[in-house]
């Protein structure tokens, strides 16, 4: 609290890289690119941001819910993707919303929607603003007034059920907010996406966020016990149930609805006891395919590790967790209930069965959560700091894109070669061939992995967005053609919408549109994302 | 193959109880009811069944797909609930479909739907006919012609992906059919509802069937990798993916759609390796609440047993698994990968921590599937034979109803007392007070159990359906009022529809109706169930 968020990119102002750190990073990357010229750009200052006058005025009775403060409007213009940050460095905040609404209650949310419906103003539900897929910005060329509906004041844990291990939590609660409120009860949601610090429960649900658990409970979906959603046509609330079989479950309609069908104001969430037993291993493989086979064996063994993360040699190197010659597999178990020797022991066997070396201690330790050591620890620290680095390198002329997907095991090898070839070819096309592509698995299932790719290369100043677009299209086309999904957990937003529409049956999209018409008759909610 | 199914109730003719077995059962039950008079009724013969002439004629080009054979029409009139069997004993087959369609291909399915749409004929998709909620019968007073669309010829495993452990299976495959086709590949779906022998994959998906696994993978939902659905407006097919985050998942719309939105012709299903390690225990508790606490501890421990079944004293007694004084908890683990000593050991500790006696050997044994012994084995054999007994007792004037639900742990005690009180009171009202109510948990979750209740009592001849209705209403009202769901895995059908509509937000029902209008514009698919 009191810390000020960057209005133009990820995180807090006081945690951003210093000028010196940026200069050092630029020199390091320039060397890795074989001598490209990288120069550090100053981030935009608020005084440099030009915003047009709001195109509509809220009525006096609701005026208290709205702000047109420049810092707020600028801060609600974009998500946090590479393209977003490049536009911010260019001082281009032209899609800024006319107003930012800050409801304090669910009734306020309904009032904003009702007024926006009358005005035919677009409403974009806003959680932590961490979208990397264009999920929270005004549609290009939108002529209607635009309101960014920021839920940050709805950030309370309202009720805790210790017996069932569940809590009723407001949609605008950031990760650290809700964990702090759950901790006195000995409970935790344990949903730790990379955006954890600055993303919200409602945002996680609306985007089917992928979290902490690499297996079994991979998406926030599995932790939703019930929802409360305010739509322009009224409230939809579901019943708290541990499971049910009564028709297509309503929660599942709003999971992944990305602000198009309603505003998630509350959810009863399933929680965990705080783990006290931990066990982990780090295995090294000479060949990627052996690490993949070990990963598949573990995911099909019924062991359900909380972490099962494969890092290819590039990924390991650039996250400080390897020397760039081996593929790593990081496996971890955690439990609030029992020692994990049998679990980690069998996982180690799966690694060795496939030629993996397990040099680090395979052990169970009990105790409070502490600093992690070794490769896993190094990787984890890099993971949390990564978005600050991404902002920094975008400002020094380094092209960066991450994309993620999922596919079945049988096609992974062909899939991976095809995607790699398409992306490398696109990198060559845009002159970023001296960069690199790296791969990790963020989540794994018995029937397939969720591969996550990162592209880093030298950009041509002034052409970053066009270059990014070429790579994005090549990657997305390859993913679709080779049998993956356009997103495993980054959501669809506007950036993925063209491929999403190719991935889905047209008739299904039509039926979603019919449903939307019932819930949002005026079509004001987040137009342009998904099917709308 | 070659065995003939009973047209009027559950199962095969040659497995039904003999006259002598029925007489013995009647004498036993009469004693338990304190001397009620129970007389065995002969089941209906086909010659006794009167069917009206079909109200419509299929065109010559499609005639080969239809039959009006009396055995088929009678056999497709009802599901297998108590009410259904009572009506059959009364020789009342008045809701019989005009035709039974037997498509051999997906194109045939589309042709039947197209023709029915033109004729404004109702189409009721039919899998194994095992509905116990009125899910597959013509709506009362339906004036349109009715076609029962039986998928039984679409019963093939079309493709097996050993690497990802998945198979493409046609919707009409019965449980034993698909398991037999998967066995040569060393794979199994391991979905074993009580109806396993005579229910189909498509039916399981359409009704969100609950299966073998008592924890973790409780519903068929979790095993659906992708679907292919023929709707009156066209085909919806989803992409094979181990997981995804691209919008509300289309599969989830058809899961639980109960034939109202389309006909599930194929699914890629996630499979298991055949287990070779097994461990189980049977714990006895003097107090129900201690067994509940142990069950909760196990379900929250992250152990994920394949079985975790609580039987109250009545349930244990009437299934031959106890003496009627103790509550039993049956816990079992299975694995194709690893020995289970650590798992079963910790589960036994959870039982003992809550005062449970674990008299039977707690052991891990490896080997092929064989006969189970002890309480668990006795219970299991009774489970499989149970539907034959239910048909028999319905014919001797014994009232029988089972209903199931789910609720969170925090409210279970109040829930269970409230439901029991309401049902006992209803039993008294209809003169069945000398019967009994028993409880088991069929599935358990970290945040709550799925309680399953059975009512057995003496009926008044000629008033069975009215008596059943009184009990059904009392139970359903109590469930809804006390925070449960109208169904955990039996589905909604027509019997549960009034409570389903109370359980769901009206706006959600409206949006489902809008969706249906897109997929089934003429409203011909299974009217009267769910929201339609």
Q: Does residue A373 carry a pLDDT above 60?
A: no
For the residues B295-314, what does the mean pLDDT come to?
97
**A270 and chain B in contact, CB less than 8 A:** yes
End-to-end CA distance of chain B: 37
Q: What is the pLDDT of residues B210-244, one digit of tens each?
A: 988 999 999 999 999 999 999 999 999 999 999 99
Percent of chain A with pLDDT over 90: 91
pLDDT value, residue B212: 85
Q: Pick from A252, A269, A484, A511 the residue to mutate for testing the B interface (most B CBs within 10 Å).
A: A511
What is the topology classification, in CATH, of domain A49-150?
A: 3.30.43
Min Cα distance A176 → chain B (Å) is 23
Q: What is the pLDDT of residues A183-198, one digit of tens each?
A: 999 999 999 999 999 9
CB contact under 8 A, B231 and A302: no
Q: How confident is the model at residue A371 (pLDDT cuts 50, 70, 90)?
A: very low
pLDDT value, residue B251: 96
Q: What is the pLDDT of residues A142-201, one digit of tens each?
A: 999 999 999 999 999 999 999 999 999 999 999 999 999 999 999 999 999 999 999 999
For the residues B386-405, what does the mean pLDDT come to?
94
pLDDT value, residue B363: 64
Q: How confident is the model at residue B154 (pLDDT cuts 50, 70, 90)?
A: very high
Residue whose C-alpha is closest to residue A340's, from A310, A300, A305:
A305
Q: Does residue B292 carry a pLDDT above 50?
A: yes
pLDDT value, residue B379: 63
Residue A20, Cβ density class (10 Å: 0-12 exposed, 13-18 middle, ≥19 buried): exposed
Set of chain A residues whose Cβ sits within 8 Å of the Cβ of B335: 301-302
Q: What is the pLDDT of residues B111-121, one digit of tens each?
A: 999 999 999 99
d(CA B34, CA A248): 44
End-to-end CA distance of chain A: 36
User: Among 3.40.50.150, 3.40.50.720, 3.30.70.3450, 3.30.70.260, what is the CATH number of A277-363+375-379?
Assistant: 3.30.70.3450
CB contact under 8 A, A448 and B410: no
Q: Does residue B368 carry a pLDDT above 60?
A: no
pLDDT value, residue A368: 47
CB contact under 8 A, B490 and A258: no
Q: What is the pLDDT of residues B167-208, one digit of tens each?
A: 999 999 999 999 999 999 999 999 999 999 999 999 999 999
Set of chain A residues whose Cβ sits within 8 Å of the Cβ of B511: 253, 515, 518-519
Q: Residues of A numbered 309-338 whose beta carbons fall under 8 angstroms of chain B's beta carbons: which are they? A: 335-338
- Which residue matches tokens 């998630």? A264
For the residues B89-93, what does the mean pLDDT come to?
97
Q: Does residue B372 carry a pLDDT above 80?
A: no
Q: How confident is the model at residue A385 (pLDDT cuts 50, 70, 90)?
A: confident
Count, residues in chain B: 532
Look at phi and psi of residue A10 and say left if phi exceeds 0, alpha if psi is from -120 to 50, else beta.
beta
pLDDT value, residue B365: 65
How is chain A split into domains, by residue range? 49-150, 157-273, 277-363+375-379
Q: What is the pLDDT of residues A437-466, one digit of tens each?
A: 999 999 999 999 999 999 999 999 999 999
Percent of chain B with pLDDT over 90: 91
CA atoms within 13 Å, Cβ hemisphere of B300: 26
pLDDT value, residue B266: 98
For the residues B397-414, what does the mean pLDDT come to?
97
CB contact under 8 A, A239 and B483: yes
Set of chain A residues whose Cβ sits within 8 Å of the Cβ of B218: 243
Set of chain A residues whose Cβ sits within 8 Å of the Cβ of B257: 247-248
Average model confidence (pLDDT) across chain B: 95
What is the topology classification, in CATH, of domain B277-368?
A: Alpha-Beta Plaits (3.30.70)
Set of chain B residues whose Cβ sits within 8 Å of the Cβ of A507: 231, 233-236, 518-519
d(CA A167, CA B368): 43
Q: How confident is the model at residue B367 (pLDDT cuts 50, 70, 90)?
A: low
Q: What is the pLDDT of residues A37-46, one digit of tens each?
A: 899 999 999 9
CB contact under 8 A, A245 and B517: no
The distance from CA B250 to its chain's CA centroid, rounded to whole angstroms, is: 23
Cα dihedral A352, A356, A359, A362, rounded to 10, equals -50
CB contact under 8 A, A301 and B338: yes
d(CA B228, CA B405): 29
Q: Pick from A168, A249, A302, A525 the residue to mutate for testing the B interface (most B CBs within 10 Å).
A: A302
Task: Print the SS3 string covering A450-499.
Answer: EEEEEEEEECCCCCHHHHHHHHHHHHHHHHHHCCCCCCCCCCCCCCCHHH
**A481 and chain B in contact, CB less than 8 A:** no
Of B249, B483, B488, Cβ closest to residue A245: B488
d(CA A285, CA A447): 22
pLDDT value, residue B361: 60
Average model confidence (pLDDT) across chain A: 95
Q: Does residue B378 carry a pLDDT above 90?
A: no
d(CA B225, CA A320): 36
For the residues B259-267, what does the mean pLDDT come to?
98
Q: How confident is the model at residue B2 (pLDDT cuts 50, 70, 90)?
A: low
d(CA B118, CA B137): 21
Q: How confident is the model at residue B370 (pLDDT cuts 50, 70, 90)?
A: very low
pLDDT value, residue B383: 76
pLDDT value, residue B385: 82
Q: How confident is the model at residue B366 (pLDDT cuts 50, 70, 90)?
A: low
Give residues with Cβ within 8 angstroms of A228, minimum separation 6.
A106, A235, A236, A237, A238, A264, A265, A266, A267
For the residues B109-132, what does the mean pLDDT come to?
98
Which of A69-73, A88-92, B208-212, B438-442 has the weakest average pLDDT? B208-212
pLDDT value, residue A362: 65
**A157-273: what CATH class?**
alpha beta
**B43-150: what CATH class?**
alpha beta
Query: Higher model confidence: residue B35 or residue B498?
Result: B498
Min Cα distance A343 → chain B (Å) is 9
């Amino acid at each position: 609290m009191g810390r000020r968020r960057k209005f133009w990119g990820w995180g807090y102002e006081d945690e951003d890289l210093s000028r010196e750190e940026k200069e050092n990073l630029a020199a390091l990357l320039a060397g890795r690119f074989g001598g490209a010229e990288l120069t550090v750009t100053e981030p935009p200052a608020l005084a440099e941001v030009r915003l047009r006058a709001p195109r509509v005025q809220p009525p006096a009775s609701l005026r208290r819910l709205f702000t047109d403060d420049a810092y707020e409007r600028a801060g609600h213009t974009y998500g946090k993707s590479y393209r977003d940050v490049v536009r911010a460095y260019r001082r281009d905040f032209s899609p800024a919303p006319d107003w930012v609404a800050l409801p304090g209650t669910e009734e306020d949310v309904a009032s904003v929607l009702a007024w926006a419906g009358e005005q035919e103003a677009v409403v974009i539900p806003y959680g932590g603003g961490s979208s990397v897929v264009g999920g929270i910005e005004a549609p290009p060329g939108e002529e209607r007034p635009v309101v960014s509906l920021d839920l940050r004041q709805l950030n309370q844990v309202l009720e805790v059920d210790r017996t069932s291990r569940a809590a009723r939590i407001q949609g605008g609660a950031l990760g650290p907010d809700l964990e702090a409120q759950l901790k006195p009860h000995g409970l935790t949601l344990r949903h730790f996406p990379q955006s954890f610090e600055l993303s919200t429960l409602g945002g996680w649900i609306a985007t089917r966020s992928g979290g902490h658990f690499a297996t079994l409970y991979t998406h926030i979906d599995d932790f939703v016990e019930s929802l409360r959603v305010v739509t322009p046509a009224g409230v939809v609330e579901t019943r708290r149930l541990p499971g049910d079989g009564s028709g297509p479950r309503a929660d599942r309609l709003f999971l992944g609805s990305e602000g198009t069908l309603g505003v998630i104001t509350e959810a009863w969430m399933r929680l965990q006891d705080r783990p006290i037993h931990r066990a982990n291993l780090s295995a090294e493989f000479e060949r990627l395919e052996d690490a993949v086979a070990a990963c598949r064996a573990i995911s099909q063994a019924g062991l359900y590790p909380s972490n099962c993360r494969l890092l290819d040699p590039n990924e390991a190197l650039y996250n400080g967790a390897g020397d760039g010659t081996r593929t790593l597999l990081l496996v971890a178990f955690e439990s609030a209930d029992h020692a994990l020797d049998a679990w980690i022991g069998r996982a180690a066997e799966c690694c060795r069965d496939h030629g993996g070396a397990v040099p680090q201690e395979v052990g169970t330790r009990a105790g409070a959560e502490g600093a992690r050591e070794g490769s896993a620890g190094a990787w984890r620290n890099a993971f949390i700091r990564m978005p600050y680095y991404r902002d920094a390198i975008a400002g020094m002329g380094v092209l960066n894109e991450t994309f993620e997907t999922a596919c079945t095991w049988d096609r992974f090898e062909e899939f991976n070669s095809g995607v790699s070839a398409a992306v490398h070819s696109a990198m060559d096309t845009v002159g970023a061939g001296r960069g690199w592509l790296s791969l990790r698995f963020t989540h794994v299932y018995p029937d397939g992995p969720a591969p996550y790719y990162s592209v880093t290369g030298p950009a041509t100043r002034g052409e970053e967005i066009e270059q990014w677009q070429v790579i994005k299209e090549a990657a997305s086309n390859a993913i679709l053609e080779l049998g993956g999904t356009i997103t495993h957990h980054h959501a669809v937003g506007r950036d993925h919408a063209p491929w999403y529409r190719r991935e889905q049956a047209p008739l299904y999209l039509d039926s979603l549109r019919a449903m939307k018409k019932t819930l949002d008759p005026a079509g004001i909610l987040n137009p342009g994302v998904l099917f709308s």
